[in-house]
Amino acid sequence: MIPGKQNARFVEIAESLKPQLKTRVEHALRVVKVERDENSLMGWKAVDAGRVEDVGSLNGGDQVIYDFGGHRAGTFEFDIESVLVGVEPADAPCRLKLVFGEVLNDVAESFDDYKAWVSKSWLPDEIINVDYLPEHVHMPRRHAFRYVKIEVISTSPRYGVKISNPIANAVTSAPWEDPAILSFASKGKEMSEEEKDGLRKIDEVALRTLRNCMHTVYEDGPRRDMRLWIGDLRLQALCSYATFKDYDLAKRCLYLFAGMPFNDEGLLCACVYEKPKPYFGGNCIADYAMLFAVTLLDYVKASGDKQTGKDLFEIAAKQFTFFAPNYSEDLRYNVPPAGDASESSSSWHFVDWEPKLEKECAEHAIMIYCLKAIAELASLLQVGEEPSYVLGTGSESQPISTLVPKLIEAHNKHYYDHELGVYVSGPEKQISWGSNAWAVIAGVPESKDIAQRALKAAYTRPESVQGLTPYLHHYLCDAFIVAGLEDLALKHIKEYWGSMVQAGGETFFEAWMPKEPRASPYGDLHSNSFCHAWSCTPALLLRQMGFE
């Protein structure tokens, strides 16, 4: 696929904003063994196996698992020396296999039967030869890990090896210090100390998730992809504005997207590559392209940087011209047939990885929400005439102020089931979290009572299609807050993100269904990222609710 013409000025601005990474040296805390645990959501538990300095000689077939006591993104190094059987020196290289574990499953389970459609080269393992002993070994490739398993594949009968001084060099562009600990005193809501401690733990894990995804861009995850995606960027940046107060990284990311479009017409890529040099991502997601406008508005309002808003406004406004033709004459949003998400496609609509999700209602609402953002940006930046668009084919161009009321009316006409009091989507009138969350966020319901009723129905009805990823779970909680259902938002944060903490998560996962803990959108648990950008938002949601 041929990329769109690169905007050299925008890329140059982005590159000028590349942050310096901060490094922190961290030592392994203990050695562990991994055992089956039927009471654990992920199926394993770590059992203390002694002190790091007490690890003895290892021979072919032996292994050791180091526990660093928390998640980080960084490099790994260690010392290794031979333990001779006789007087002759080591007569063959030492071959080692290293496995970097975000969760225990990584170091407990074999990758041999891996069956995901994403490349096996993303698996967090490496095989190295150490030719001469003793040696200090530095693994140059960055990994995401709490645990490191070192297996001795082979030495020779003449020697074993002793490994010592295992060290992690953690890196991030975020501050190492967390914001002030949440007090939960400002809302006047009675909470037990146990509840407060549980929410503080969730906040701590959310902040660690965000920090470990903040490098020279807002990465989607440090385990796999390590790429910049619009959907992740929006949530990471909002969370960072509320916590670490980092604006330049978001600005850099906005300019990278604007500088490397999907095509010459200016359609934005869903993601961009940063290394070895900035390059377009080769795919487009409709809702991500539209959400660029919201992400730009978020940035301008948080930072006060109107110049960047003016620089990128036309690109944000342009995105709607690519998707407005998806409307029919009666103003239904037609989602084109889904292609394989693993292939490049200009018509991919996301909303969530849940395969059963019918997306028409949600995409219609996302269009409304993003058009409102463009109108607000136009007013805030005073860029001149209000943007206009042609919906469907053959209709006349209409300004946003005319379009939005028509789209809201059509949304309530086509997607609202008055009898059930809930928004539905598709020919089967599917009820889902996605449809109702986005309808409420977009301001479609005619009253707060209708919004609350719809969300409660979608949340509780057994046939309702839920979400596979924290990305949609975030927008569900966001909708709860918009509708004045903060108690439900708080309940969901405690139950959903709290269950990841209970499962042993030091950071929050890319995909998670507590009742199906091995669920993966890619076909294999080991392809999942266990520190993922779009999962960091409890730190944002709690502060949105006024907890300081």
Residue 129: strand, helix, or coil = strand
pLDDT at 347: 62
CA distance 8 to 541: 37
> What is the chain's alpha carbon radius of gyration, rounded to the nearest angstrom?
25
Q: Which residues contact 226 (CB under 8 A, 6 or more apart)?
A: 215, 219, 220
Under a CB-based contact definition with an 8 Å cutoff, are residues 493 and 180 in contact? no
* β-strands 422-425, 430-431 pairing: antiparallel
- Cβ–Cβ under 8 Å, residues 388 and 399: yes
pLDDT, position 343? 39
pTM of the shown model: 0.96
pLDDT of residue 186: 61
Tokens of 223: 């385990």
Q: Which of 110, 99, 111 is nearest to 151 (CA)?
A: 99
256 and 228 in contact (C-beta within 8 Å)?
yes
Angle at 298 between CA 297 and CA 299, to 5 degrees: 90
Residue 77's beta-bridge partner residues?
A: 138, 167
Where in the chain do CATH 2.60.120.260 domains reside? Answer: 23-172
**What pLDDT, on a 0 to 100 scale, did the predictor assign at position 342?**
39
Residue 221 pLDDT: 97
Q: Under a CB-based contact definition with an 8 Å cutoff, are residues 172 and 215 in contact?
A: yes
CA 495 to chain centre: 19
pLDDT in the model for residue 184: 84
What is the DSSP-derived secondary structure letter of residue 432? B
Q: Which residues contact 217 (CB under 8 A, 6 or more apart)?
A: 227, 228, 249, 252, 253, 256, 274
CA distance 53 to 50: 9
165: closest CA among 83, 80, 60, 99?
Answer: 80
- The reported pLDDT for the residue numbered 165 is 98
Instruction: Provide DSSP, 58-88.
Output: B-TT-EEEEEEEEEEEEEEEEEEEEEESSSS
The CATH number of 23-172 is 2.60.120.260
pLDDT in tens, the chain (548 residues): 678 889 999 999 999 999 999 999 999 999 999 999 999 999 999 999 999 999 999 999 999 999 999 999 999 999 999 999 988 889 999 999 999 999 999 999 999 999 999 999 999 999 999 999 999 999 999 999 999 999 999 999 999 999 999 999 999 999 999 999 998 876 656 889 999 999 999 999 999 999 999 999 999 999 999 999 999 999 999 999 999 999 999 999 999 999 999 999 999 999 999 999 999 998 899 999 999 999 999 999 999 999 999 999 999 999 999 999 999 999 999 998 765 443 344 568 999 999 999 999 999 999 999 999 999 999 999 998 899 999 987 678 999 999 999 999 999 999 999 999 999 999 999 999 999 999 999 999 999 999 999 999 999 999 999 999 999 999 999 999 999 999 999 999 999 999 999 999 999 999 999 999 999 999 999 999 999 999 999 999 999 999 98
pLDDT of the residue at 456: 98
- Helices assigned H by DSSP within 398-497: 400-415, 433-441, 448-460, 470-482, 486-492
At residue 80, the pLDDT reads: 98
Whole-angstrom CA distances from 134 to 81, 90, 93, 130, 290 are 4, 10, 11, 9, 56
